[in-house]
Chains A and B, each alone.
Chain A
Amino acid sequence: MTTNITLINCGIGNIKSVEWALRAAGADVVRATLPQQVRDAGIIIFPGVGSFEGVTSRLHENGLYQAILDHIAKGNPYLGICVGMQILFDFSFEFGTHKGFGTVPGVVELMEKRSSSSTNIGPDKVPFVNWSPILQPDTNDWSQGPFRHCSSGDHFYFVHSMKSKPDIADHNVAVTDYNGLHVCAAVRNNNVIGTQFHPEKSAQNGNNFFRGFFETFS
């Protein structure tokens, strides 16, 4: 069965890669630039690229911010990628303090590199640009949900300077490890999912994730 996906296009970044990867995983994709298209949507995917403030201000300008919040509040499925995940939290401290959707309690803060952290843990360079294995936390069961076709240790592609910190451990559904620093790789709160990694750039593992996501909500 084909899954219908509405891809949010707020005018920043290249959403083509995401669209092509979704098609390769078996989805029919339409792009949404208007609030009405979000209101009509079943499953929405928001690939955020750029800064937190840049993304939220663009969503406000386009009237998409409230439409996405309403979509989530009605219990409809949402997948956010990168900044599309970070925007789910209460606040981000990227270049100031910025308010997010507050759908997943917690904050987004700057990731310190290893040499400047007091604990000598963390990535060697920030932004972190690399493949990294994702791990299943003890509190989570991957046999259900979007990671059903993934295995703990599968490699995904990450590009980020900010790290997300969910308040509730159960919301942290995948982690990755940068020299001993455990970083949230994915969150889930019921109908809402976010990934810090880029499934659209993660080869077959990304395809496996997308298919698991479709099956979770079909």
Chain B
Amino acid sequence: MKRVIARIDVKNDQLIKTVQLEGLRVVGEPRPRMLQYYEQGIDELIYMDIVASLYGRNSLFELISSAAQSCFIPLTVGGGIRSIDDASQALDAGADKVAVNTAALQQPKLISELAKIFGSQAVVLSLEAKSLGQNKWHAYYDNGREDSGRDAIDWLKQACDLGAGEVLVTSVDREGTRKGFDNDLMAAISEVCPIPVICSGGYGQVEHAVDVLSMPGIDAIAVADCLHFERTDVVSLKNHLSASGIEIRP
């Protein structure tokens, strides 16, 4: 069964949408959207605070709490999770999983510490991969702005060994472009990755989702602007996937 996840990128309490993780547009209030997608049958929610600052955290956790009180599906929270304490606060607010990128690249043992305390199922590696050409990708951080210099696939393997329970792969090149997912990247990852893979960045039309979800090692897609700008809705997207032979939760 393949999962369809809605990704909620937030800056200063506003739902926003970027192109290649830059040039952001404000969409509106995040909470009503989360409820709407939940009621329409989305399988999970991913909530990313893209500014990833440690300031204004209280309003973030209030928002997570208030969403989790009405959305009875798994909720992942990412952006600015730099320590056990940050993760603990997010989980206490009602998140089921935390996503880590920047802090984990700087200090890989954060992944094993989080996994040991909260369990691997609660630790999602957020991998921002940017193409170097010739089937090579680097892991980026700070919302796709900075090159870590690390090979994305090698970093993913290391994170799996450290105890990451799931990986959210965002193609920096495709994000917000509606040109389709980076299928070469996803194929390379699906071959080596022992943990569930969530594919993000580039959804433009349902065929894009069918292509990537047809790969055996890809477990889920995360979509954002197609829902936010109402180019489709959860029900039609799922109906299309189902009609195309992708096994999903009705």
Chain A residues in contact with chain B, CB under 8 A?
13-14, 16-17, 20-21, 24, 49-51, 124-125, 127, 129-132, 155, 157, 159, 200-204, 206-207
Contacts and interface: CB of A to CB of B under 8 A. Distances in A.
B96 A203 contact: no
B10 interface: no
B188 interface: no
Interface stretch (B19-27, B66-74, B178-186, B224-232): B66-74
Contacts, number: 65
Contacts of A50: 119
A157 B166 CA distance: 15
Nearest to A127: B121
Interface residues of B, number: 30
Contact of A201 (B65, B72, B119, B194): B72
A125 B120 CA distance: 13
Nearest to A24: B72
Nearest to A124: B216
Contacts of B118: 13
B49 interface: no
Given A14-B96, A124-B216, 5 more contacts: A16-B92, A20-B69, A127-B120, A129-B121, A130-B196
B249 interface: yes
17 contacts: A13-B118, A14-B96, A17-B94, A21-B72, A24-B72, A124-B216, A125-B195, A127-B121, A130-B1, A131-B3, A155-B250, A159-B121, A201-B96, A202-B73, A203-B73, A204-B72, A206-B72
Contact of A20 (B94, B121, B165): B94
Contacts of B91: 14
A203 B70 CA distance: 10
Interface in B207-250: 216, 219, 249-250
Given A51-B119, A124-B216, A131 B72 contact: no
A157 B73 contact: yes
A206 B119 CA distance: 23
Contact of A132 (B1, B74, B120): B1
A207 B38 CA distance: 14
B173 interface: no
Given A17-B94, A127-B120, A157 B68 contact: no
A149 B3 CA distance: 25
B43 interface: yes
B68 A125 contact: no
Contacts of B41: 203
Closest 4 CB pairs of A and B: A131-B249, A155-B249, A20-B69, A159-B121
Nearest to A23: B69
A144 to B, nearest CB: 25
Nearest to B65: A16
Interface string B41-58: 101000000000000000
Interface in B124-146: none
A148 B101 CA distance: 44
A49 B195 contact: no
Given A16-B94, A24-B72, A201-B74, A130 B119 contact: no
B203 to A, nearest CB: 20
Given A16-B68, A155-B250, A206-B72, A129 B166 contact: yes
Contact of A157 (B70, B74, B196): B74
B41 to A, nearest CB: 8
A51 B250 CA distance: 31
A53 to B, nearest CB: 13
A214 to B, nearest CB: 16
